Structure 1
Amino acid sequence: MRPLSEQDIRNSFINCSKGEAKRLAVPRDLGEHPWDDLDFLGWRDPGAPDRSYLVTERGDRLVGVALRFQPAQRGFLHRSMCSLCLTTHLRGGVSLMTARKAGTAGREGNSVGLYMCTDLACSLYLRGKKAPGTAARFEESLTLEEQVARTAGNLSAFLDKLTA
């Protein structure tokens, strides 16, 4: 992914108003992100524990999505799998992220949800760049490039549902 500026990020959101995009918390450390290892930029809002954001490149444009989630209430040994990157996590490592649909459907209250890594670090888990902690990756016969393509396809399908 190419490095992004704060303005790039704020201008990319498809499921919130310009005012909401202007007020959301953008990461302050954009210059320190491992852009070459990211397939999308994802972060949690430090001031709103139920909000996360995701920005990705689709064709020649950026697409940003505001997400909401509930903190996990599962048992200590419960394992969940991210629907994007297929990483499994213990406890609260995977959350159902919901996003308001774009346009009229979103203003009418329609949303789409997907189970994702709560920290939105899918790209780093795929590449082994993030310490597993409570996360685990199954050994796969797919190459890294094929796993990245699968994750991008899963994300693209989610974004298609948001804009449909």
Structure 2
Amino acid sequence: MAAKKLRDVADQVKGLHVIMMLYTCDEIKTRKDRFGVHRSLHPHLDRDTRPEFILLRIKKWIPPGRTFFIASNERTPGFFSHLSVSYKLAYSSNYSSIIDPVVENNYQLFMTERLILMGAKTFVRTFKEDETDLSLTHDPKKNTKKWQIPAYSLDDSEGT
């Protein structure tokens, strides 16, 4: 169980909004095969976690105008800004006055974000872990050891 101070911070953030949650973790492992072709264990992950695809995917579950708390390890500034055409975006940095005095390291920030996510009205995961989960990708989370050529086309958004 997380420390009480982290639970309290998460509760304060959750109390500010009725929020939807989006969690992405882009850990794309690629390698070149013997012919020099890039392959990935999660061939659709890069495509499925791009903002334009996320927008297409979530609109069938969540009406426009909702606020999303985005927990992600994405480092590119403004990466998710494309989502703001339909949704209000929030990140842990928006709540720095609440979070910063308590959170001392990245592990505690991760735990605080997870606690916030657990209280979501709607939670969209990167990978589907359970049959009822809403997820950005159809790729299995478990490492299948099956290296495939990554897909980058939005035309295949409902594919495997």
TM-score strictly above 0.5: no
Shorter-chain-normalised TM-score: which range?
under 0.3
TM-score after normalising by structure 2 = 0.24
Q: Relative contact order (C-alpha < 8 Å, sep 6+): which is higher?
A: 2
Quick check: which one's strand share is greater? 1
TM-score by length of 1: 0.24
